[in-house]
């Protein structure tokens, strides 16, 4: 069996050091570990990178500790509008959903859109209905709501009223989850899911469902899943840019990802990060905030999760 690799992130926008209790930190790390194990269980038994990234993201969507699925951010109207995408590096096929309100696991709907082959991106009520017809789990919109997100929305509205939104903590703003993988056949895949950012305009669409921005995978180059201010990720086509630097300039995945996050986006003073895996299994996780929830598995099967600069080995 060829080399396999997996990395995940739970967003760089939830990392204010005083924003979570120690119990919340620990619970989030546990769920990161569960997400890693779900994806690794697929890869280590010869499964596809596509199945692995979906399995990891589903766990994160089901956790209340991350801004995707259950526990997602609320928009300015106090409602959830969820986004997700998935991409197969072997074929460049991709699927995405945006502005959905009732799909329990948006990444599953994105996968189904890709498999149907009639569209790459579906949105709003039509996407919700598509998921229902396809037999995916649909829920009432308040399923996604947690007390933490209600408080975050109130905080962002207060910042907006006071004209201090720019100074809000990362935990008050946004967050995303994602996964990237290399399977034993040498194929790459990426998946990303988010609730957007707290107090976002109704109908706003970020980078997560935009193939080439928040999510990108191409065999022989890399797979990328990003987190941060989506408008800039769209403008810089971040995922595709990382892959292009590898393909056209011969940079390593570490060099390409660092250049985009640490240099290209620096003038905009935004929180940003990503996880990426190269065609050789190399993993990189650059971020420019205080920290980023992230995790990875070494080639010999050791599991690690990290928040800030502290790395935890998990069993």
Contacts 24+ apart (CB under 8 A), 256-259: 256/222, 257/224, 257/284, 257/286, 258/284, 258/286
Sign of the alpha-carbon dihedral angle for 247, 251, 252, 256: negative
List the Cα angle 196/198/203 in 5-degree steps.
55
Tell how far CA 131 is from the center of its chain. Answer: 20
Is 227 within 8 Å of 196 (Cβ atoms)? no
Could you report how far apart the first and last alpha carbons of the chain are, in Å?
23
Is 146 an annotated catalytic residue? no
CA diameter of the chain = 58
- Choosing from 98, 176, 227, 307, which is the catalytic residue? 176
Question: Which residue shows structure tokens 């590898």?
Answer: 246
Is 229 within 8 Å of 268 (Cβ atoms)? yes
CA 54 → CA 29, 67, 110, 111, distances in Å? 19, 16, 10, 8
Q: Which positions are annotated as active-site residues?
A: 176
């Amino acid at each position: 069996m060829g080399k396999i690799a997996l990395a995940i992130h739970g967003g760089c926008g939830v990392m204010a050091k005083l924003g979570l209790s120690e119990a919340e930190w620990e619970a989030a790390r546990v769920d990161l570990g569960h997400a890693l194990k779900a994806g690794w269980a697929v890869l280590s038994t010869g499964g596809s990178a596509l199945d692995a990234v979906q399995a990891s993201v589903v766990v994160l969507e089901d956790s209340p500790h991350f801004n995707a699925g259950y526990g997602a951010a609320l928009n300015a109207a106090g409602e959830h509008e969820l986004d997700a995408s998935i991409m197969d590096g072997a074929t460049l096929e991709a699927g995405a959903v945006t502005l959905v309100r009732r799909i329990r696991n948006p990444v599953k709907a994105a996968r189904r859109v890709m498999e149907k082959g009639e569209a790459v991106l579906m949105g709003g009520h039509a996407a919700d209905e598509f998921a229902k017809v396809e037999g995916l789990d649909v829920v009432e919109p308040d399923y996604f709501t947690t007390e933490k997100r209600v408080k975050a929305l109130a905080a962002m509205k207060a910042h907006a009223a006071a004209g201090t939104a720019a100074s809000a903590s990362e935990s008050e703003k946004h967050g995303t989850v994602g996964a990237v993988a290399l399977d034993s056949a040498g194929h790459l895949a990426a998946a990303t899911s988010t609730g957007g950012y707290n107090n976002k305009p109704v109908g706003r669409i970020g980078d997560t469902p935009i193939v080439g921005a928040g999510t990108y995978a191409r065999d022989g180059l890399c797979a990328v899943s990003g987190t941060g201010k989506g408008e800039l990720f769209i403008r810089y086509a971040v995922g595709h840019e990382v892959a292009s630097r590898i393909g056209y300039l011969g940079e390593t995945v570490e060099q390409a990802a660092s250049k985009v996050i640490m240099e290209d986006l620096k003038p905009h003073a935004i929180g940003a990060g990503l996880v990426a895996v190269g065609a050789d299994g190399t993993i990189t996780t650059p971020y420019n905030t205080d920290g980023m929830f992230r995790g990875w598995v070494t080639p010999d099967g050791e599991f690690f999760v990290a928040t800030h600069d502290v790395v935890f080995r998990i069993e």
